[in-house]
Chain A
């Protein structure tokens, strides 16, 4: 195909170095025992074989992001007061907005990582609410997705509509061949990113070689179970405390699954102040934590980990679907399984839920997964502290 480029293995670092001159380049590298996405540094190497421990979502949704900074202009302690100004006058505050995000390339992210944008877009780029912090980064970021040649036992992207050579939300698809990378532009933006003289026109045979690698990875994923009706099953099990207590018995209620998850997108906002200066931060939040649902009254509707795990699974496989045209908000990367210190397996919970729901009730009446025709699409669910509030996620 015209536009396909070839990057020799020996030139990868040089090309990323070239891109780094004008852009922020995120690429995976080894750090300790983990593989993390960091700003490219030739001296610290690259890791383009092993699967990254964390997702690349922080390119669009940083762990902790400055929304604005502020300083109170009130006079210093002991200074003579000016006319019309009192020391506690909080209206005298200077607010600064953060700098515009830099153009960014994420190189070598996995197909499942790119699929996560599918979950973020309806939330942060919804019909009613637009999150400028997200949108600016989204518009300034090029995703170069690396096709998986190998899959892990925890991979299940094919269960949820993903693919080892996923191109959805990718700008370029990169496949490692024997002596270099085939770079296939997917979008115009991707094409524009492939202009370096280090990139040669790809030989005609390379596309076929890449397809063989993709097919091999697809085959090794095995068959996906039929998840039809999973949303109805999870809704029907909402009040089945015994089911959720059994499923969550081994859960430690830490945030590993949510923070490594490419599609988890919840945040909390705090003002971090020191003397007269401060920043308003938006940081990742996790529905596995008590504070996530703790109400001002002191009541916590999800005081037990069973309710929290139910929310996590429910959000991925039921609540999000109902609000977003049947889109499952799990991309099947398997990080929550691979890195769970307690070996909790979301695949097993989903399978058990289908079995349990079928055993306790007659099959629920067929419900259209996409409620668009039946009812007006609910407003983009970003409110208050940034949590998605579905009807039944108590």
Chain B
């Protein structure tokens, strides 16, 4: 599939400013966002379980230019939502899709490595369809892909690009998402949940990687989090302010979040901030029968109104 994808990228390249995908990263366990402009640069393109980053986050920066983008299923949903919201023009993006088998979660690899070996000590790795083998100094450690795959992949409904101009490979079957993770979390009492978030948010460093890694968080330089006039958020190093921002972030993404999980992944101190957005995503599905990033022709429910919502039968009350 790698070579076929490279072929598709080279085919698209003459018509676009660049093609965004994945390339070699700083260590064996990570790839990096990769911006290909010349055919020879495509040789270093990387795909597979290390193609973790969501390249859609960069698309709004290229407004007015035509760019190509290689997308996993989840990434494609971000692009679709960006198009639906007018953040990206359909005619300015060439989408290259492929069937995704899931990506790794480096924190899960870390857990498998145990307490005394850090991911940064891994010198090389090899991946087969269901195993991942890492070498640390002279010893090899093999783990099941199922144990190190990102959580989002376990409930992935759209492993193939939802919309694409080029599709390489045979489409895969999607899974269902029953929000079992949320249900498990909600078994805790309100007090326990609040204590959990207080503990988690206490180590937030307010770097806003969660916000900047989000392909739908487009206010960026004008975000309420850092605005001085009006002065919405206090700069104190307090759990209250940090949690406040997360609630703002989650409400701003209600009915827009496509669940790519980049906010949680980007967090340098491992706070599962994606849970907030997932709660809103489930609410949008229940209230408005809406799933973001699946149809570029629809308007997100909180950006419009309907005289009667599909799941709220007011007239039958």
Contacts and interface: CB of A to CB of B under 8 A. Distances in A.
Interface of A: 31-34, 36, 49-51, 53-54, 62-64, 150, 152-155, 246, 249-250, 252-256, 258-260, 268, 270, 272, 279, 281, 283-284, 286, 289-291, 300, 303, 334, 337-339, 341-345, 347-348
A53 B204 CA distance: 12
Contacts of A31: 199, 203, 269
B220 interface: yes
B211 A254 contact: yes
B10 interface: no
21 contacts: A31-B269, A34-B270, A49-B115, A51-B118, A54-B269, A63-B206, A64-B237, A250-B34, A250-B35, A250-B58, A252-B209, A252-B213, A254-B208, A254-B212, A258-B207, A283-B235, A300-B221, A303-B221, A334-B120, A341-B53, A341-B266
B35 A249 contact: yes
A259 B266 contact: no
Contacts of B122: 153
B234 A272 contact: yes
Nearest to B120: A152
A51 B110 CA distance: 13
Given A36-B269, A341-B265, A259 B120 contact: no
A152 B121 contact: yes
Contacts of A34: 203, 268-270
A256 B199 CA distance: 20
Interface in B29-80: 30-35, 53, 57-58
B91 interface: no
B270 A33 contact: yes
Interface string B199-219: 110010111110111000000
A153 B123 contact: yes
B33 A343 contact: yes
A63 B231 contact: no
A343 B212 CA distance: 14
Most buried by A among B115, B266, B269: B269
A64 B242 CA distance: 13
B296 interface: no
Interface of B: 25-28, 30-35, 53, 57-58, 107, 110, 115-116, 118, 120-123, 199-200, 203, 205-209, 211-213, 220-221, 226, 228, 231, 234-237, 262, 265-266, 268-271
Given A153-B122, A250-B32, A345-B26, A281 B203 contact: no
B30 A51 contact: no
Contacts of B25: 343
A149 to B, nearest CB: 10
Contacts of A286: 207
Contacts of A253: 212, 220
A307 B272 CA distance: 31
A252 B266 contact: yes
Given A36-B203, A259-B205, A337-B26, A281 B266 contact: no
A254 B209 contact: yes
Given A34-B270, A254-B212, A348-B26, A249 B235 contact: no
B121 A255 contact: no
A139 B68 CA distance: 56
A334 to B, nearest CB: 8
Q: Which 6 A-B pairs have the closest CB atoms?
A: A152-B120, A33-B270, A341-B266, A290-B221, A343-B32, A250-B33
Contacts of B228: 270, 291
B290 to A, nearest CB: 27
Nearest to B267: A341
Given A339-B268, A343-B25, 8 more contacts: A51-B118, A63-B205, A64-B237, A249-B35, A250-B33, A252-B212, A258-B207, A260-B268
Nearest to A255: B207
Contacts of B27: 153-154
Contacts of A252: 57, 209, 212-213, 266
A154 B35 contact: no
Nearest to A32: B270
B120 A51 contact: yes
A254 B207 contact: yes
Most buried by B among A49, A249, A268, A348: A249
Given A34-B269, A252-B209, A63 B220 contact: no
A90 to B, nearest CB: 18
A259 B206 contact: yes
Nearest to B25: A343
B33 A342 contact: yes
A343 to B, nearest CB: 4
Most buried by B among A53, A250, A289: A250
A334 B30 CA distance: 15
Nearest to B136: A150
Nearest to A347: B26
Contact of A256 (B28, B57, B120, B207): B207
A252 B213 CA distance: 6
Nearest to B226: A291
A334 B119 CA distance: 13
B237 A283 contact: yes
A272 B205 contact: no
A33 B266 contact: no
Given A252-B57, A341-B266, A343-B31, A50 B118 contact: yes
Contacts of A153: 26-28, 120-123
Contacts of A246: 35
A255 B269 contact: no
A154 B268 CA distance: 15
Nearest to A49: B116
B120 A338 contact: yes
